[in-house]
Structure 1
């Protein structure tokens, strides 16, 4: 006696359609996941830098001496642009150079070292705090922009009083700002088109000409 069996499967057309749908879904999902991961790394890098600056400030108060934060050369001098590590060290003479008697208090491996940088530290390559936690002539800010994802950018600002804060998106347009109306701009690659209307010539109105000019921000 023969037993009847029910076999369930996919036809070739159904398999091709399923693979096409899967490919489309992966094409959409992978970039989104990548952007999400990079956004998480950006948040982590910002928080790490703020935490390191806070440690430097509190160390200056605790040790009752000048403390500097920067990226050090092999010879012990602060350098620009910052490299892949940042050091907090006792800087007794305040010259931004780690001398033999100056102790390194903490070192941070800093991921955004290969990002676009913009420094506003009064032409200095370091931040520095004195014995009461006030900026020792080195207030300012430092900005970082992801080389591939324009939305991933941040700035950390140090005030004259030595306080540390991060950039915020004050107007909710997706671009963080150092202060309201001052967006974080790292270099000339990040531009927006501006429409310029030429003057009328012989009663003819030329079409607007679109040019690109860099943002300028002042703090």
Structure 2
């Protein structure tokens, strides 16, 4: 019997330990940045979903020729912004700010990520048949639990704008010099 070491295949224990060590170091260095990327993607996805929902509220009010409301809620039949999981879009002919019948409900837009909180500075957002938002400018704040946030500002004319970082410090600001806090 001849033992020829050149024909043997496999890894030695030392090679396996070195490879595992390099892999662990790589994972340790990249995990925080991956978490940040995932948080940014969730934040952007929620903000885009909210922007589309606001556009739907406005378009429905123009199409239907009467007041349509969008409100944050945790249940499908009434506005309740304490822990919003969705945005209700409904006809509000009686101007109560809540859907009075199931027929009033146009759409329920799910806000999918449990790591995201969404708030609005009013109890609801209403658009007139001309596409104008009721009252003064409204602001939706979307915050991730990592501290990052976005603002959607709705003008009285129905225009939606996303707040930006005016001074380049990495913080989104509603107006120059006023960063949002999450």
Distance 1:178 1:161, change over 3 A: same
Distance 1:40 1:54, change over 3 A: same
Where does structure 2 lack aligned partners over 5 or more consecutive residues? Answer: none
How many residues end up aligned between the 2 structures? 181
The alpha-carbon distance between structure 1 residues 48 and 17, as it changes in their structure 2 partners (threshold 3 A), is: same
Task: Between the two structures, name the one with larger relative contact order (CA 8 Å, sep ≥ 6).
Answer: 2
Corresponding residue for residue 128 of structure 2: 130
- RMSD after superposition: 2.6
Contact 1:128 1:138 survives alignment (8 Å):
no
SS in 1 for 2:132: coil
Please give the TM-score of this superposition, normalised by the length of structure 1. 0.72
2:88 counterpart residue number: 87
- The one of 147, 151, 161 equivalent to 1:150 is 147
Give the whole-Å Cα distance in 1 for the aligned partners of 2:18 and 2:172: 43
TM superposition score normalised by structure 2: 0.85
Larger Rg: 1
Shift in CA distance, 38/72, structure 1 to aligned 2, threshold 3 Å: closer
Residue 159 of structure 1 corresponds to which residue in structure 2? 155
Aligned to 2:110: 109
In 2: Cα distance, 1:75 partner to 1:4 partner: 74
In the TM superposition, what whole-angstrom CA distance separates every residue of 1:51-99 from its partner, at most 9, and x where no partner exists? 1101111111111100100134658332223521211111112221111
- 8 Å CA contact 1:157, 1:166 repeated in 2: yes
In structure 1, the partner of 2:55 is 54
More helix by share: 2
Runs in 1 of length 4+ with deviation above 6 angstroms? Answer: none
